[in-house]
Amino acid sequence: MGSVRIAVYLSNTRRNRFDLQLSSDGSAWTNVFSGESTGTTTAEQTYDFADADARYVRYLGHGHSADGPWLAM
């Protein structure tokens, strides 16, 4: 696995900050991506990271840019 495609609610009007994490057992997680969406489209966007074996993928949201500074979700 080396990428995921994600579409985020209202992502054409705000940027979303998040981490992508991988796990083989659902207990120990490794961060493979930290960043944000573009804020320009509701279509799926591809987020690339180094190839790694995993059974689970976790999206860990940190907030969005709507109505000012980063707000908690």
Per DSSP, what are the bridge partners of residue 46? 5
Assessment of whether the complete model's pTM goes beyond 0.85: no
Looking at residue 71, its pLDDT comes to: 54
pLDDT at 73 over 60: no
What average pLDDT score do residues 17-32 get? 96
> For 25-54, how does the pLDDT look when each residue is reduced to its tens digit (9 = 90+)?
999 999 999 999 999 999 999 999 999 999
| Cα dihedral 13/9/15/19 (nearest 10) | 180
